[in-house]
Amino acid sequence: MQGQDNTPLFIGIDGGGSHCRARLAARDGRILGEGQAGPANFRLGVEQVRAAVLACSQRALEQAGLHTTSLPQLHAGIGLAGAVLADDQALAAPVTTLFARCELRTDAYIACLGAHRGQAGGVLILGTGSCAQIICAEDERTFGGWGFTLGDQGSGAWLGHQAVRLALLALEGIVADSPLTRAVGARLGRQPEQFLAWSMNARPADFARFAPLVFEHAGANDPHALALLAQSSADVCRLLDVLARYRTGRIALLGGLSGVMSRWLPEPIRTGLVPAQGDALDGALLLARQGLSQE
């Protein structure tokens, strides 16, 4: 259960839909190494997740120069996207049993834990998808995070999806066209059939690639782009309002879309946000340490 000098080693792992990251730390908090591998969303299947976790963990050990240290010597904290169902803890056994001890939560949980250094607070994550998390004495709860079909309000995938739909409507003359709809059409084609062919295999990340066009054209007062960002802002504010009800005084906006989206939020909402004090891997390491302290 220890490293080469008989002191515990901790590894934090953040498994998302795009990639899986690991950070290895000594007992005194020193970062020893990091590694990255492919997607690790739990809905992709436990074998995919296990392979990604194994790969990024081994790369972190290699970067640290701990070539003879094995995973069963590590205390792990893992956050996995998609690990939200009651049976997921049991189904994740092929992953959690790789380590001496392992605490498993969602990726939103470790992001919140890291953002506030283990203190009470909430986060709203805006990236390809969206998800909110609160951790405080009264509750530990996730809001949203149900995926592209049922949720992801305010996310890059939602914005891109709506932009593509508007571009198709404009192409058919159902709504007025605009610079935004023409820019989307320039990428997808000038025939509705081309839109359909593209959509047949499009994933949330493919739709999210159109989100930057929405922000770009909103800056030029495109009416469709402005309407989409007004709706997105309203959705984001609803999620932030839920977190604010817990009165922790700490709510952070995280994710690749957080910086640009914050500019479209009402000033009282924007000024009430706090900067994150750490990232999801910091949270995963905190989770690993908490698990050891509870033994």
- DSSP three-state, residue 59: helix
- CATH number of the structural domain 9-117+278-293: 3.30.420.40
For the residues 270-278, what does the mean pLDDT come to? Answer: 93
Give the alpha-carbon dihedral of 210, 215, 217, 219, to 10 degrees: -170
For the residues 240-258, what does the mean pLDDT come to? Answer: 93
Q: pLDDT at residue 47 above 60?
A: yes
For the residues 146-155, what does the mean pLDDT come to? Answer: 84
Nearest-angstrom CA–CA distance, 36 and 46? 18
Residue 72 DSSP label? G
| Most confident by average pLDDT, 53-62, 82-91, 198-207 | 53-62
Task: State the pLDDT at residue 2.
Answer: 46
Task: State the pLDDT at residue 293.
Answer: 60
Domain ranges of the chain: 9-117+278-293, 156-271
Task: State the pLDDT at residue 205.
Answer: 83
The class (CATH top level) of 156-271 is alpha beta
What tens digit of pLDDT does each residue of 163-215 get? 999 999 999 999 999 999 999 999 999 899 999 999 999 988 889 999 999 99
For the residues 137-141, what does the mean pLDDT come to? Answer: 89
Please provide the distance, in angstroms rounded to a whole number, between the alpha carbons at the two ends of the chain: 13
- What element of type H or E holds 192? helix 192-199
Tokens of residue 21, six digits: 């990251």
Q: Say whether 156-271 and 9-117+278-293 share the same fold.
A: yes
Among 286, 205, 272, 193, CA closest to 240: 272
State the average pLDDT for the chain: 90
Task: State the pLDDT at residue 16.
Answer: 81
Strands (E), 166-271: 251-254
- DSSP three-state, residue 179: helix
What are the angstrom distances between the C-alpha of 279 and each of 12, 113, 117?
A: 11, 8, 9
Q: pLDDT at residue 252 above 90?
A: yes
Task: State the pLDDT at residue 295.
Answer: 53
Cα Rg, the chain, nearest whole Å: 21
For the residues 44-61, what does the mean pLDDT come to? Answer: 92
The answer to whether the CB of 86 falls within 8 A of the CB of 42 is no
Task: State the pLDDT at residue 290.
Answer: 84
Range with lowest mean pLDDT among 84-93, 112-121, 134-143, 203-212: 84-93
Strand partners, 26: 9
Task: State the pLDDT at residue 122.
Answer: 96
Q: pLDDT at residue 43 above 60?
A: yes
Q: pLDDT at residue 264 above 60?
A: yes
Strands (E), the chain: 9-15, 20-26, 31-37, 74-80, 101-106, 121-126, 130-135, 140-144, 251-254
Q: pLDDT at residue 147 above 80?
A: no
Strand partners, 9: 26, 74
Neighbours of 277 (CB within 10 A): 15
